[in-house]
Structure 1
Amino acid sequence: MESFIYLRLRHRVEVKPNSKITLADIAQIIAPEKDLTKLKQLTVYEVSTSDKSSVVIDVMTLIDLITEKWGAVDIQTIGPSQTIIDIIYKKKKVPIIFFILIWLLLFFGSALAIMNFHEDVSMRAVHQKIYKMITGNDQSKPLILQIPYSLGLGLGMIIYFNHLFKKRFNEEPSPLEVEIFNYQQDVDHYVVMNENKESIKRLDDH
């Protein structure tokens, strides 16, 4: 083999249980044309039931496999040094009764949270004072302010989260998506540090 191979590992790969993972599955490869096909077909891992939900493949493992088969070659790696393999099992269908119960829980829970917040900040009294400032009259239920406020509250939530059911209004990520992304980054970092056998070395006392 000629003396250069360039590898760029993918950050995450989703596979089915009992799959054979090749180098082409987890990395972008640049190599001499005559060796490229064999490199792409090189099996780097076989998923087993003991792997549970995720596996981490380290770039050093790949370098070891390549040099074992092709001898001394110049391997240049670009990008991440590990690939997270997510093993996707067949999902069980959620019974419709569970879906309804969860929907009701979220609906009434969020409604109570909003109502309790407005009670804490005395929003009704604020509306009454604003109504009196504008009209000069006292009104215990200033619906002319409360109804637009309620509609605006719902509209503001839709705009804030940038979603109406599955429809997006623009390509900008919503705050919720950013938080989920940050959470996923933390999870990935944890998996890399704890699932990667090369990350932790335990030495015997002797």
Structure 2
Amino acid sequence: MSSQQTSLYIKIEKNSVVRDRNVRLSDVARMTGTDEAMIRQLKQMKIYSFPQKAKKTEYVQVMTSLKIIEMIQAQYPNVNITNEGEADFVIEYEPKLQPGKASEVIKTSILCILIFFGAAFTIMAFNNDISVTELFQKLYYQVMGKESSGITELEICYSIGLPIGVIIFFNHFGNSKITNDPTPIQVEMRKYEKDVDDTYIANCGRGGKTIDVD
């Protein structure tokens, strides 16, 4: 243990997913400082252990950066620590599972079928709600001066433009993206993840389950 004043900069992520129930500092934080040997040892420091036979509700734990600083200073009392990350953070434990390929294919196929028919039903319900057929007939009569005979240029353009508009809006087709901007789904997922983390932190704080300093 060094007697000289050393500096340590630590950045803790708001949410960290771990596969090992024994959580080490390197699993939740990135560090830099003036003492490389100290940093190597701190990366291996165990900060929490999930119960071996835990319920799924116990697979999430909230800790504070103050607790991490306290644990570091217990080993290195002369270190000057600067926290550049979150004040409170979430650790999620996901045990290593190896599902069979057949089950993955079945789940993916069922999900694709549900999404396909769900989207198709939504589009049909929308078209029926606003009476697209009647609208196109009136528009065709106003422009062309004669009654619509069924499938016209309007229906064809609408059928082509609808999927193109969906692809452009979601900025995603297969494994390719039209631009480097995040897709609307990615943006909403990040907002959802942030709200979930904030709720975990708030609930654990109110319930006294947050691992914090005394």
Give the TM bin, normalised by the shorter chain. Answer: 0.7 to 0.9
Relative to structure 1, the CA distance from residue 102 to residue 10 in structure 2 (aligned partners, 3 Å threshold; closer, same or farther) is: closer
Identify which of 4, 21, 24 aligns with 1:22. Answer: 24
Q: Deviations over 1:107-163 (max 9, x none)?
A: 222222211211221111121122222221111414221012111101111111111
**TM-score w.r.t. length of structure 1:** 0.83
Counterpart of 1:92? 99
- Shift, 1:187, TM fit: 0.3
CA contact (8 A) 2:63 2:210 kept: no
CA contact (8 A) 2:15 2:197 kept: no
Equivalent pairs, count? 199
Counterpart of 1:204? none
Distance in 2 of aligned mates of 1:47 and 1:183: 25
- Gaps of at least 5 residues in structure 2 are none
Counterpart of 2:86? 80
CA contact (8 A) 1:10 1:27 kept: yes
Counterpart of 1:71? 77
Between the aligned residues of both structures, percent identity stands at 28
Relative to structure 1, the CA distance from residue 39 to residue 103 in structure 2 (aligned partners, 3 Å threshold; closer, same or farther) is: closer
> Which residue identity is paired with 1:9?
I
- Shift, 1:86, TM fit: 2.1
Counterpart of 1:48? 51
Counterpart of 1:203? none
Counterpart of 2:210? 198
Distance in 1 of aligned mates of 2:114 and 2:24: 45
Structure scoring higher RCO (CA < 8 A, sep ≥ 6) equals 2
Distance in 2 of aligned mates of 1:51 and 1:101: 28
- Asked if 1:10 corresponds to 2:13, the answer is yes
CA contact (8 A) 2:24 2:48 kept: yes
CA contact (8 A) 1:193 1:199 kept: no
- Gaps of at least 5 residues in structure 1 are 201-206
Counterpart of 2:134? 125
Relative to structure 1, the CA distance from residue 158 to residue 91 in structure 2 (aligned partners, 3 Å threshold; closer, same or farther) is: farther
Identify which of 106, 110, 127 aligns with 2:119. Answer: 110
Q: Deviations over 1:74-112 (max 9, x none)?
A: 322122113322222316353655544443333222222
CA contact (8 A) 1:6 1:30 kept: yes
CA contact (8 A) 1:17 1:48 kept: no
CA contact (8 A) 2:62 2:211 kept: no
Q: Which range moved further: 121-130 or 81-90?
A: 81-90
Q: For residue 92 of structure 1, give the secondary structure of its aligned residue in structure 2.
A: coil
Q: Which range moved further: 41-50 or 167-176?
A: 41-50
Identify which of 159, 173, 188 aligns with 1:179. Answer: 188
Counterpart of 1:168? 177
CA contact (8 A) 1:131 1:142 kept: no
CA contact (8 A) 1:9 1:26 kept: yes
Distance in 2 of aligned mates of 1:10 and 1:145: 52
